[in-house]
Structure 1
Amino acid sequence: MKIIVGYDMTDPAERALDTAIDYAERLKADLQVIASLVGGGKESVEEIHAFEKGLKSARMKASRKGVSCETHLLMRGKTPGEDLVAFAEEQSADLIVIGVKKRSKVGKLMFGSTAQYVILEGGCPVLAAK
């Protein structure tokens, strides 16, 4: 089994990571943590280094639980949702885990654009961790 988790170092992403690690531990699954930046020279070196550091921290967190984990920083000119769905399809993922946050009354009518895209377009089950 292969679990993919989207990660951007926000609180919802940390909850998604914790959930994905728990599932990977229980199911003896491979875990892949991805972060997505648009690319094309739009990110600063500092931003790239911050994401690399965050991915290293995610890998260490999984390792402490005995979970095998690969990390990937994607900069392919896609939105984070598009990157996550495409990467999951390329890797034949069995589950995608994403973080979601609480929204206002109006915002409750829909998820954030990334979460909504992944839920609607993902080719495998999607678990939204809150």
Structure 2
Amino acid sequence: MKALWLIAVDGSPPALRAVDHVLLEAARDAIAPAIMLVNVQAPLPSDVTRFVSHGVVQDYHREAGEAALAGARFRLETGGLAYSQHILVGEPAPTIVNFAREQHCTLIVIGARGLGSVASALLGSVTSKVIHLTELPVLVVK
């Protein structure tokens, strides 16, 4: 069975370092894992969405997700690694975990983000929540 790795990408430098790490790991193996790039967009507040059409909201999420995924796509394409991309809407950590479970991923790869708070002194809050919510292995890349 081929490995299926989910890479959570928000466009940040730590997320791009996670993509770079996957490229290095894939180059070492004879069989590259299947890669799913995932970006999670926060839902817009209802006081905003009630004034615009559903299509406008979908376009906004798609455009923002595409922008967040651009650097990761470029790196994977340059490295010759195939991938699928997925732009989801919801609370980031549970959305990532649920999607990984539904897709039968074998690993979640995510960048670390130091946000300076006591709860997330070493890891970003999304990264910490993903680790706590999933039973899957999680690779955190600094």
TM-score, L = length of structure 1: 0.81
Worse-superposed segment, 49-58 or 62-71: 49-58
1:105–1:36 CA distance, 2 compared to 1 (3 A) = closer
The answer for the alignment partner of 2:77 in structure 1 is 63
- SS of the residue 1:58 aligns to: helix
The answer for the alignment partner of 1:4 in structure 2 is 6
Q: Which one of the candidate residues 92, 115, 126 is aligned to 1:114?
A: 126
Q: Quick one: distance in 2 between partners of 1:98 and 1:87?
A: 14
Match runs of 1:1-130 below 5 Å:
1-27=3-29, 28-39=32-43, 41=49, 48-75=62-89, 78-104=90-116, 106=118, 111-130=123-142
What stretches of structure 2 of length at least 5 have no aligned partner? Answer: 51-56
Q: Quick one: distance in 1 between partners of 2:117 and 2:95?
A: 29
TM-score, L = length of structure 2: 0.75
CA RMSD of aligned residues (A): 2.6
What number of residue pairs does the alignment pair up? 128
Is 2:18–2:109's contact at 8 Å kept on the other side of the alignment? Answer: yes
Is 2:4–2:33's contact at 8 Å kept on the other side of the alignment? Answer: yes
What stretches of structure 1 of length at least 5 have no aligned partner? Answer: none
Between structure 1 and structure 2, the one with the greater Rg is: 2
Worse-superposed segment, 47-56 or 5-14: 47-56
